[in-house]
Structure 1
Amino acid sequence: MHGLNQSIAIGPLGLSIGQLLLVLAFSIALLAGALIGRRHRTPTADTLFTLLFVALVGARLVFVARYWGSYDGALAMLDIRDGGFDPLGGLVAGVGYALWRLWKAPQQRAALSGALVAGAFTWGLTAGPLLLLESQTRPMPDTPLATLAGEPIDLPTLAEREARPMVVNLWATWCPPCRREMPVFEQAQQEESDITFVFVNQGEDESLVNRFLDHESLTLENVLLDARNALGDATGAMAMPTTLYYDAEGRLVDTHFGELSRATLQRGLERLR
C-alpha cells in the first residue's frame, strides 16, 4: 500500500511537499504583486524577496538560539542544510518587515498588500488540507524488512518488542547527506536510552551496507534492509534521507526530510516526549 507522498526527489535534491507549497505561495505573491504593481507603476519583487530573506534569517536565528548547545561552532550554525528553522520566528520577522515596509513606502501599499494576501491565501488553500491529513493518525507500516543477518522483521514487531518511541531513518550509502548525518545518529543512539533508533537502508544489499559501516567505523544497532524501497513507498518518503518519529503507540508524530544535525534531531526527540 502506497502512502501519501510527503516529499519529492528532483535528481539529487529532495524537497518536502510543504517546501514546494511555500515556493508556490511565494510565486503567486510575486505574480500578484507584479500585476497590481504594473497598474500602480510600483514594482514589488525586490521587497518580496527581501521579506522572504528576513523571514528565513529570523527563523534560523530563533532556532539556533533555542538549540544553541547542540551546535559545535559558528559554521555549524550557518549550515542551513539541516533544515533548522523556527516557523514562528520566521513569521514574526516577516510580518514585522512587511508592516514596516507598508508604513515606510505608502506608494507600495496596494501592490504589496495584494501580493501578501494572494500568497497567504494560496498557502492556506494548499497547506491547510495537507496539515489536516498530517494530523490524522498514520500507523506504523508493516512493510517486510530484513536484518543484516537475513532474518525477516518489520517495524511493528520491533516496536512491540522495544515498547518505547522509535526514530526510523531511511538512508542509502550513495546518499551524501545520509552519510554525513550517521555520526549524529550514532551518538544519539548511545545517549538516548529511552528511544529506539532504526536505520532502514533503501535498495542495497547486506554486503554493501556492511562494507560502508566498517569503512566509516560506525557502530549502529537495528540496521535493517529494505531491498525493494517498499518502506519509502508506504510512508510517502520519496527523498533521502528521511527520518520518521513514532511514539510508543506506533503513531507517526513528526517527519524530517533531508540531513539532520544534532539540533534538528533534538527538536524531533522533544516532540516524542
Structure 2
Amino acid sequence: MPDCPATDAAAAPVAGGLPQTALPCLGGDTTVNLAGLPRTPTIINLWAQWCGPCREEAPFLREGLAELDGVSFVGVNYNDPKPDWAVEFAGLVGWVYPHVMDQDKTLQVPLRVPGLPTTYFVDADGRITGVHAGPLESIEQLRELATTYLGVP
C-alpha cells in the first residue's frame, strides 16, 4: 500500500467539499487533511475489513484505479477496530492506493455517512459532486458513476 499524499494541515475546506481532518495514514506515519488533498478528480471510498459488502466491491475499486485515467483514489478505513487486519485485507485485495483511518467516525457528521460502504466523488475543484451509498456492483457501474460525477471518460 502506498504512502498517503502529503497534505497541508491548515488547508480549509472548499464549499461543498471534503472536511478539514487530521486522519492517520493506514499503515503509515503521516496525517492527512482531506481538505488538503491534491486537486484532481478523486474517488473516496469508506470501508471496513469487517464489512461484507465492502469485501464484495473490493475488486471493482482495484480495477477502477487501473482503468480510470486521471482519477485518484483514497480509501477511508472507517469505524474499524482492527487496523492491522485492515492493512492485511487491503493487501489481499490488491488495493494499491493510499488509505487513511477514521476509527472514531469523525467523518460521520460532515459527510453524512449513511453506512458502509459509501463512495464519494470529488471533482478537481475539491467539491463533492456525488455520493453512492452501498456497494458498487460492477466495474461498469463505477465507470458510469465516474463519468456522471467527475466527467471522466
CA distance in 2, matches of 1:145, 1:267: 29
Q: Normalising by structure 2, report the TM-score.
A: 0.79
Q: Which residue of 1 aligns with 2:64?
A: 188
Percent identity, please: 29
Runs of 4+ in 1 over 3 A off after TM superposition: none
Please report the RMSD computed on the Cα atoms of aligned residues, expressed in angstroms. 1.6
Is 2:25 the partner of 1:144?
Answer: no
Letter aligned with residue 185 of structure 1? L
Task: Give 3-state SS (helix, strand or coil) of 2:125's partner.
Answer: coil
**What 5-or-longer segments of structure 2 have no aligned partner?**
1-14
**Cα offset, 1:259, TM superposition:** 0.8
Instruction: Tell me what 2:90 maps to.
Output: 213
Does structure 2 conserve the Cα–Cα contact (< 8 Å) formed by 1:243 and 1:257?
A: yes
Where structure 1 has 5 or more consecutive residues not aligned to the other structure, the ranges are 1-136
Range 167-176 or range 144-153, more displaced: 144-153
Larger Rg: 1
Number of aligned positions between the proteins = 133
Q: 1:178 to 1:267 in 2, by over 3 A?
A: same
Mapped to 2, the partners of 1:209 and 1:233 lie a distance apart of 23
2:33 to 144, 154, 159: 154
**8 Å CA contact retained: 1:167, 1:244:** yes
Q: Separation in 1 of the partners of 2:104 and 2:29?
A: 15
Q: Hey, which of these two has a bigger chunk of strand by percent?
A: 2
Aligned residue number for residue 230 of structure 1: 106
The 5 A counterparts of 1:85-104 are none
CA distance in 2 between counterparts of 1:154 and 1:268 reads: 25
* Structure 1 segment 1-273 matched on structure 2, within 5 A: 138-147=16-25, 148-158=27-37, 160=38, 163-204=39-80, 205-214=82-91, 216-260=92-136, 261-271=138-148, 272-273=150-151
**TM-score, normalisation: structure 1:** 0.46
Q: 1:194 to 1:202 in 2, by over 3 A?
A: same
Amino acid aligned to 1:173? Q
